[in-house]
């Protein structure tokens, strides 16, 4: 079969002339073959007057000058004229000519309301009714096909939208790592949501405690949106009002009716959804909703860009994302509570060990802090991951955990220890390492606990390791332990001054202490370190309180 240009239909692309598909052309051509048997010509053109298909039934078309022609341009000219008139009449089948000898109809291709125009010419009065009915059936068939195609396209668009939403929700789920800061996750949620929903501005506000008062604070967002303290209060109050009335969101615009609330002039439409928290204790930003759900934050967006207003589909999507954010925030708070419980338990354990000897009270916490100090100074000279520094701190905190099994009388004994007593004390690194190695999350701490009494000259215990056989954590904790021991009062001697202790460390470089680790400590501002410890750790460099740092460090073990 050939099209109007003499090309084989088999060689045509899936769609031809911008609209008709090959299958549709074949359908029209089959129809043309049927009407050709009546000696009738059949032509198809588009609304632009371009001839798409010509099936010659052997009849001529007369031009205005009365000359009968069958050239394509004549068909195209007639086709375009009748196409325009047919579209204007909006009739299913139109009749033209002095004796109604020309029949025309609009057939829709599914890509537009006008579609393509079919022309039958000339037609005798005898054939007119029969061919008119055939043409009407053809138009109806194309109309049904066009409607089906539009529905498929609509479903396809909806499925694509749902797929994008599922990808977004999966992305949120996959990134729900409790070690991730709230701000990072919530910003990712904002950015991902605006990839799907085009808005002028979006923001997430989260409940934070500031000066012992809970407030909603802007933690993530993008675009043009102004959420100051006054706007925050307005948004919260109106959102609670909408939730209490049984709605899922605050949704307001002037598209179908006037605004329900007064908004700044820059807002054309707005959506706000709640972040519900599970925590039922303590005061919060405002009263609970009537359903007793606790709002710990909200997500707000303004001015939909690609359509007139936010709709119910947007409400569902925003609520799904907000629910994911709320789960993340709740999990983060539970994880923080768990870390605080864990570090509290560790400190209680080490305090009970230190309490066995009045002269070593607070020793474990000081060794932990000094170990961290040394590790940070080493980190200035060579790459040292923050996570490793956290673990060095914890190794310092737990380095004496093996002393739990040693009699207090031995630990508190004044004067020289007997060989058997000394041997008993020297087991505490191995005992401590054995205790911690049973806990999977503590295994990275074990080398520091086991090796904090090793010496680089091989004269240490429990294994007499030499030089680089001693892990870095063991070298650092060992130096921190020695410095604190030197500067602390003992039953058998007075405490050294910082200057005296540093001189002893200098003497021990290359024998008792690792040269690089010891030099990093000596070259640091040790007197500032000393002042911080004497102040009860009131000033903690870059991390707030020592308790907060301990909580952060524990996160590397249970994160």
- Rounded CA-CA distance 51/54 in Å is 8
- The CA distances from residue 331 to 186, 189, 203, 335, 504, in Å, are 13, 16, 21, 6, 49
**Residue 76 dihedral angles phi and psi, to the nearest 5°:** -60, -40
Q: Tell me, yes or no, whether 437 and 529 share the same domain.
A: yes
Q: State the CATH number of the domain containing residue 51.
A: 3.30.450.30
Q: Tell me, yes or no, whether 406 and 532 share the same domain.
A: yes
Q: Tell me, yes or no, whether 495 and 401 share the same domain.
A: yes
Looking up tokens 């393509």 gives: 116
Pair 524, 498: CB distance under 8 Å? no
Is 313 among the domain residues? yes
Q: What angle do CA 58, 60, 66 make, to 5 degrees?
A: 165
Is 414 among the domain residues? yes
Q: Tell me, yes or no, whether 208 and 71 share the same domain.
A: no
- Rounded CA-CA distance 257/280 in Å is 38
User: Where would I find the beta strands (DSSP E) of 234-339?
Assistant: 250-253, 269-277, 294-304
Q: pLDDT digit of tens for each residue in the chain (559 aa)?
A: 444 444 444 443 334 444 667 777 888 889 988 888 888 888 887 767 677 888 877 655 444 444 344 455 566 666 767 767 776 776 778 777 766 667 777 777 655 545 566 666 666 777 778 888 888 888 888 878 777 777 767 776 666 666 666 677 667 777 667 667 788 889 998 998 988 889 999 999 998 888 778 889 999 999 989 888 899 999 999 999 999 899 999 999 988 889 999 999 999 999 999 999 875 444 444 445 545 568 889 999 999 998 889 988 899 889 989 998 888 888 878 777 777 777 777 777 777 776 766 556 788 889 999 999 999 999 888 888 888 999 999 999 989 988 887 877 777 777 778 888 888 889 999 988 988 888 887 888 999 999 999 999 999 999 999 999 999 999 999 999 999 999 987 766 688 999 999 999 999 999 999 999 999 999 999 999 998 888 776 555 444 455 666 666 666 665 5
Q: State the CATH number of the domain containing residue 499.
A: 1.10.3210.10
Q: Tell me, yes or no, whether 124 and 49 share the same domain.
A: yes
- The CA distances from residue 31 to 8, 70, 142, 182, 239, in Å, are 17, 20, 12, 66, 61
Is 164 among the domain residues? no
Q: Tell me, yes or no, whether 214 and 305 share the same domain.
A: yes
Q: What pLDDT sits at residue 4?
A: 45
DSSP string, 241-256: HHHHTT-SSEEEESSS
Is 299 among the domain residues? yes
Q: Tell me, yes or no, whether 489 and 361 share the same domain.
A: yes
Q: Tell me, yes or no, whether 321 and 360 share the same domain.
A: no
Q: State the CATH number of the domain containing residue 204.
A: 3.30.450.40
Is 339 among the domain residues? no
Is 479 among the domain residues? yes
Domain range for 301 = 175-331
Q: Tell me, yes or no, whether 438 and 506 share the same domain.
A: yes
Q: Tell me, yes or no, whether 228 and 190 share the same domain.
A: yes
Q: What pLDDT sits at residue 14?
A: 38
Q: Tell me, yes or no, whether 201 and 249 share the same domain.
A: yes
Pairing of strands 294-304, 199-210: antiparallel
Number of domains in the chain: 3
Reference 77, options 127, 31, 24, 117; nearest CA is 117
Is 60 among the domain residues? yes
Q: Tell me, yes or no, whether 198 and 68 share the same domain.
A: no
Is 340 among the domain residues? no
Structure tokens at 32: 């043309």
């Amino acid at each position: 079969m050939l099209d109007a240009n003499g090309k084989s239909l088999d060689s045509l692309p899936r769609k031809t002339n911008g609209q008709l598909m090959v299958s549709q052309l074949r359908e029209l051509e089959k129809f043309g073959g049927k009407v050709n048997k009546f000696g009738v010509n059949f032509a198809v053109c588009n609304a632009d007057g371009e001839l798409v298909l010509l099936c010659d039934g052997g009849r001529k078309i007369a031009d205005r000058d009365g000359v009968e022609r069958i050239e394509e341009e004549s068909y195209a000219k007639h086709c375009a004229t009748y196409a325009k008139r047919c579209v204007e009449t909006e009739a299913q089948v139109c009749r033209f000519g002095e004796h109604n000898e020309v029949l025309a109809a609009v057939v829709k291709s599914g890509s537009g309301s006008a579609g393509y125009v079919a022309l039958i010419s000339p037609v005798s009065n005898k054939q007119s009714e029969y061919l008119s009915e055939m043409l009407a059936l053809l138009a109806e068939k194309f109309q049904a096909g066009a409607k089906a195609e539009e529905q498929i396209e609509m479903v396809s668009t909806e499925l694509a939208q749902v797929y994008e939403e599922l990808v977004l929700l999966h992305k949120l789920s996959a990134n729900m790592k409790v070690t991730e800061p709230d701000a990072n996750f919530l910003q990712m949620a904002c950015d991902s949501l605006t990839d799907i929903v085009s808005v002028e501005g979006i923001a997430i506000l989260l409940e934070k405690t500031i000066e012992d008062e809970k407030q909603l604070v802007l933690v993530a967002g993008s675009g043009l949106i102004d959420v100051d303290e006054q706007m925050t209060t307005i948004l919260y109050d109106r959102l609670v009002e909408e939730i209490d009335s049984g709605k899922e969101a605050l949704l307001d615009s002037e598209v179908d009716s006037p605004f329900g609330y007064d908004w700044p002039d820059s807002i054309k439409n707005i959506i706000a959804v709640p972040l519900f928290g599970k925590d039922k204790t303590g005061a919060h930003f405002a009263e609970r909703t009537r359903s007793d759900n606790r709002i710990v934050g909200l997500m707000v967006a303004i001015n939909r860009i690609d359509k007139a207003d936010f709709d119910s589909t947007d409400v569902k999507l925003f609520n799904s994302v907000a629910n994911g954010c709320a789960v993340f925030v709740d999990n983060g708070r539970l994880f923080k509570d768990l870390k605080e419980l864990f570090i509290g338990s560790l400190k209680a354990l080490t305090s009970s060990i230190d309490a066995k000897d009045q002269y070593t009270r607070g020793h474990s916490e000081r060794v932990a802090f000094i170990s961290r100090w040394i590790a940070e100074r080493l980190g200035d000279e060579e790459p040292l991951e923050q996570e490793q520094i956290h673990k060095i701190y914890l190794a310092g905190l737990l380095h004496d955990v093996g002393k739990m099994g040693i009699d207090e009388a031995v630990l508190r004994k004044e004067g020289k220890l007997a060989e058997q007593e000394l041997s008993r004390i020297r087991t505490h690194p191995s005992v401590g390492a054995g205790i911690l190695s049973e806990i999977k999350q503590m295994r990275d701490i074990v080398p520091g606990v086991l090796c904090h009494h090793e010496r680089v000259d091989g004269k240490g215990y429990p294994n007499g390791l030499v030089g680089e056989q001693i892990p870095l954590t063991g070298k650092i904790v060992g130096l921190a332990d020695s410095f604190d021991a030197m500067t602390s009062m003992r039953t058998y001697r007075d405490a050294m001054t910082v200057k005296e202790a540093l001189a002893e460390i200098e003497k021990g470089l290359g024998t008792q202490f690792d040269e690089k680790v010891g030099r990093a400590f000596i070259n640091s501002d040790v007197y500032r370190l000393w002042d911080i410890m004497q102040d009860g750790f009131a000033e903690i460099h870059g991390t707030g309180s020592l308790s907060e740092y301990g909580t952060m460090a524990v996160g590397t073990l249970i994160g």
